């Protein structure tokens, strides 16, 4: 069994976007995810989450619940879940049945993180819609409907089988204040996407903590924050490896998302001054940590002090699998058992 470990008293988790590398394919991505998940479990990371994205050549986790089942089956005790499922893309009953199935297969190990964005461009969002008039504004009602399916009574005479009566931790995810407020109102744990929305991190966390109402799910606020970490044995190598993620965000800014690109020696030959500023605003140094073990440890400690987070989830978009594994290993070596 895994012994959970902590960094400065806080559990660390993994956010895997199942990156599809240039020159590779999703089959290889999923093999890499299995290897990383097993290593994360061994190192003492707390949970392993996948995010739902669509029409993104470099992200293979579109069928999120399927990938969760694959990873849960390849590991023994680490929690596995969604960070998150984009609820407006789905009928609530379907999500209840999928996660009810996962929880039935892997009892006590499944997390259901929910978001309200489509996780895609507008055209793809339209293609995904279960009804033509579905929208993110319906999210609170959809959440209520989904929660009802996990009760013994079900929802309006309809029961989720599997799902009915199961206690599956439900999280709300956000990159602004809306989900923070809803999570507080519902008394649910909250995960904030500070790894790509650093400017809104503290305001969203303040909203969540100040307005939190205790519930049968949670007696006090529990906030997890996202951070990008690219760790390597030297600062120079970490900075070189980080150019893959910079290229990925640049592709999104340009409206031409790509597979995850190999690192390059000089980003200044690749982007304009305006593009550089836009990428650096997203990958702000407050929540994007690049460096050797000492630098990562210091900056992660500072990030925890600033956010007072209950948990941190780490995204590491690194092209070479051996470097991605090494990055998590460096962070894992900082984890300690609680006395």
Q: Domain limits of the chain?
A: 12-332
Q: What's residue 81's pLDDT? A: 98
Say if CB 226 and CB 195 are below 8 A apart: yes
DSSP state of 263: P
Measured distance CA(236)–CA(21) in Å, rounded: 22
pLDDT single digits (tens) 117-164: 765 667 777 787 655 555 557 899 999 999 999 999 999 999 999 999
Q: Strands 79-82 and 12-16, how do they pair?
A: unpaired
Say if CB 224 and CB 312 are below 8 A apart: yes
End-to-end CA distance of the chain: 18
Element (H or E) spanning 208, and its range? helix 201-211
Class of domain 12-332: alpha beta
- Which residues sit opposite 155 in a β-bridge? 158
Q: What's residue 275's pLDDT? A: 95
Dihedral (C-alpha) 243, 228, 181, 190: value to the nearest 10 degrees? 150
pLDDT single digits (tens) 217-262: 899 999 999 999 999 999 999 999 999 999 999 999 999 999 999 9
Which residue in this structure is represented by tokens 């070479």?
A: 320
Q: What's residue 111's pLDDT? A: 98
Measured distance CA(322)–CA(129) in Å, rounded: 38
The encoded tokens of residue 311 equal 């948990």
Measured distance CA(251)–CA(220) in Å, rounded: 40
Residues in the chain where the model's pLDDT stays below 50: 1, 339
Q: What's residue 294's pLDDT? A: 98
Q: What's residue 339's pLDDT? A: 47
The encoded tokens of residue 37 equal 């998940």
Say if CB 52 and CB 89 are below 8 A apart: yes
* pTM score: 0.95
Helix and strand numbers, DSSP H then E, in the chain? 12, 10
């Amino acid at each position: 069994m895994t012994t959970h470990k902590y960094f400065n008293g806080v559990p660390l988790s993994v956010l895997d976007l199942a990156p599809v590398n240039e020159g590779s394919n999703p089959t290889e991505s999923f093999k890499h995810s299995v290897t990383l998940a097993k290593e994360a479990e061994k190192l003492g990371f707390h949970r392993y989450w996948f995010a739902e994205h669509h029409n993104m050549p470099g992200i293979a986790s579109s069928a999120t619940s399927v990938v969760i089942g694959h990873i849960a089956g390849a590991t023994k005790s680490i929690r596995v879940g969604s960070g998150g499922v984009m609820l407006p893309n789905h009928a609530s009953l379907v999500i209840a049945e999928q996660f009810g199935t996962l929880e039935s297969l892997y009892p006590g190990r499944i997390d259901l993180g929910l978001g309200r964005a489509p996780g895609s461009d507008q055209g793809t969002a339209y293609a995904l819609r279960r009804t033509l008039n579905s929208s993110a504004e319906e999210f609170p009602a959809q959440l209520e409907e989904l929660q009802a399916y996990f009760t013994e009574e079900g929802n309006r005479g309809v029961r989720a089988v599997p799902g009915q009566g199961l206690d599956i931790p439900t999280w709300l995810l956000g990159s602004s204040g809306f989900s923070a407020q809803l999570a507080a109102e519902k008394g649910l744990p909250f995960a904030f996407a500070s790894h790509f929305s650093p400017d809104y991190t503290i305001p969203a966390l303040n909203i969540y903590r100040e307005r939190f109402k205790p519930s049968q799910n949670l007696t006090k606020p529990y906030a997890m924050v996202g951070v990008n970490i690219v760790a390597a044995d030297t600062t120079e190598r970490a900075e070189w490896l980080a150019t893959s993620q910079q290229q990925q965000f640049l592709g999104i800014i340009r409206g031409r998302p790509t597979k995850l690109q190999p690192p390059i020696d000089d980003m200044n030959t690749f982007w304009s001054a305006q593009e550089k500023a836009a990428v650096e605003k997203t990958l702000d140094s407050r929540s994007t940590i690049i460096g050797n073990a000492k630098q990562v440890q210091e900056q992660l400690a500072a990030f925890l002090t600033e956010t007072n987070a209950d948990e941190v989830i780490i995204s590491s978009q690194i092209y070479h699998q051996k470097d991605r594994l090494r990055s998590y290993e460096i962070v894992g070596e900082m984890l300690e058992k609680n006395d």
